[in-house]
Structure 1
Amino acid sequence: MACVKESYESIMAFRAERDFESLDTEVLGWSDKRLLNARSLRFMLSQQFEYVPPSELVYKTWNLLTDFKLYRHMQPRTVALEMLQRVTEDCAIVRLSVSNGDKVHHSILLIARGRIDGGYLITYRSIPLSEGQRQFAASESNYVNLFNWYTFLEKTTPAGIPACEVTFGGCVENQSMEYLRYLMMEVVAGVVRWQTAVGHNKFRLTHG
């Protein structure tokens, strides 16, 4: 699938990026990597989950991203997630609306999943709007261009334990610095809520 291949190439380019910021410590088990400038944010959070097969997490994550009630477990401020078109079993187009104070941030997203080397990829990114659509979106809400993704890779820990390395990353452009800083906090909160929604919180995944 072309969108999966394109997303995978973008992800690999970001992984190779050296000019990035990091907390240099884990937050609830997640390590971070980010690039923030005046109008855009690129980020990546990673963690290994022992004894969890990648196939389980890609299946649960796909359901979370394509069902309104389930999506709200990850983003409680979601006010709408409407399925516009289910293209195939592995590709769908949805309309997403998320509230932030008195504003509603809106996106029309293409969601796709596929196999990659060593595991799976789920990607969801904004569909470009025509000029008329952009004017309508601006009058109704704040349209957000975003590109987010999950990778689920088969790994083995130094102790020889099978694990799934989950990476959540993405890019948001053409937004104010205030919104991007807010989004950075939401990213961490969102990935922790994802972890709980798929049934694998940190305490359950800690092995003594």
Structure 2
Amino acid sequence: MHVVASLHPTPSPRTSYPPAPAVTATWSEDDQALLDILFMAEPLPAEPSLEDVKMDDMFSSPEPDNEVHVQQEVQPASPVEKQIGYKPLAIDDSTALVNETYRSILTFSLSGRALSTGANIMGWEDKRLLDGTSLKFSLRKQFPGQNALRLMASTWQCLSDPECSDTKFRGLMTLRVLQRVNDDTIVAMRDSQSEDCSKIYRCVYILFRVRTRKGFLICVRSIAPERLTDPALNSLDYEGKTVQWVDMSSWFVFEHATDEGIFFQEGGAHIEYGGCMDNGDNESVAVLAMNTLSIVLRWETTMVGPLFTLPVST
């Protein structure tokens, strides 16, 4: 069975969001019960009413060969694509990467030397650990009165837009779009410099969003450079600096705070930013650790805003 993973950007409660395999972060016993990968047998009709949206009826257990089917949109090559010898991602490869990423999230575990105490920072439950040169992290927070659907839609709208990403997450996230596979799947590239500016940390990654049983997931997953770029062009940047390719997987999980799982309501939302980043050296670990915290704090400021307001002075 093939399912088209298709989400629409309008954060309206009446918008159809056909679900892809349901995934969630895996750090508690309660979460383990939700880790079965589930598929939708039939796509929802366009613009359903809330009465038509019944979460238990929209999923069926997968067979071993089930997968999400990604539809592709072909676009002309950009200067950046030509610079790195980018080879467009095929439909079957897009499908395989999305499903492979789901399964990697299901088996993800926090291990290594703790870089944080586990205490709350600005309300975020903070877990950051170092495993070799890999930084593994999970930051969680509950937002009363917020809506998981709207937070997901706003986050996706910004993360998939180069101008918004650069403005709202300046110095933390960049987005140089290489290919828009569809409205919910993008291939992009980002560069960052080492502290001494001697080398470039580069990553070509797939950015996608899917619906899960309890909410939504927005995920970034790096792609091995030899799969999509020309090896003869990916060792140096255009200024002649050494390029060091990095391994990265990170995700935002958006879940409704109540047990009913109706994420259209305003009863609150659980947000998690988790993943693993590896630049391949020890010198960048401290920067990565600070960046993960900075990203969620910047995300909260941008997507949620202050939880209180000061009275207007007269």
TM-score, length basis structure 2: 0.57
* Alignment CA distance shift 1:152-1:36 (3 Å): same
Shift of 1:6: 3.5
Aligned to 1:124: 220
Shift of 1:32: 1.8
Bigger share in helix: 1
CA distance in 2, matches of 1:125, 1:69: 21
CA distance in 1, matches of 2:185, 2:132: 33
Shift of 1:112: 0.9
Aligned to 1:97: 191
Q: Is the 8 A contact 1:34 1:44 kept in 2?
A: yes
Taking CA–CA contacts closer than 8 Å with sequence separation of 6 or more, which of the two structures ends up with the larger relative contact order?
A: 1
Provide, for residues 75-116 of structure 1, a one-character-per-residue CA deviation record: whole Å limited to 9, x for no partner.
312695222211111111112223444243221111111111
Provide, for residues 125-170 of structure 1, a one-character-per-residue CA deviation record: whole Å limited to 9, x for no partner.
111111874563332233222111111011139xxx8211110111
Structure 2 residue matching 1:185: 3-state secondary structure: helix
Aligned to 1:88: 182
Largest Rg, 1 or 2: 2
CA distance in 1, matches of 2:174, 2:217: 24
Aligned to 1:11: 105
* Alignment CA distance shift 1:165-1:42 (3 Å): same
1:71 aligns with 2:165: yes
Bigger share in strand: 1
Total equivalences in the alignment = 200
1:27 aligns with 2:104: no
Provide, for residues 159-208 of structure 1, a one-character-per-residue CA deviation record: whole Å limited to 9, x for no partner.
xx82111101111125212211210011101111111121x135349xxx
Structure 2 residue matching 1:192: 3-state secondary structure: helix
1:184 aligns with 2:296: no
Aligned to 1:148: 250
* Alignment CA distance shift 1:37-1:18 (3 Å): closer
Shift of 1:29: 1.0
Provide, for residues 1-24 of structure 1, a one-character-per-residue CA deviation record: whole Å limited to 9, x for no partner.
354444343334336x57773523
Find 1:136's aligned residue among 233, 246, 254.
Answer: 233
CA distance in 2, matches of 1:77, 1:99: 10
CA distance in 2, matches of 1:20, 1:13: 19
Q: Is the 8 A contact 1:29 1:202 kept in 2?
A: no
Aligned to 2:21: none
Find 1:43's aligned residue among 137, 141, 145.
Answer: 137
* Alignment CA distance shift 1:204-1:98 (3 Å): farther
CA distance in 2, matches of 1:40, 1:146: 9
Q: Is the 8 A contact 2:188 2:206 kept in 1?
A: yes
Unmatched segments (≥5 aa) in structure 1 = none
Structure 2 residue matching 1:33: 3-state secondary structure: strand
Unmatched segments (≥5 aa) in structure 2 = 1-67, 69-94, 238-242, 260-265, 310-314
Corresponding letter in the other structure for 2:236: S
CA distance in 2, matches of 1:184, 1:172: 9
* Alignment CA distance shift 1:156-1:73 (3 Å): farther
Corresponding letter in the other structure for 2:307: F
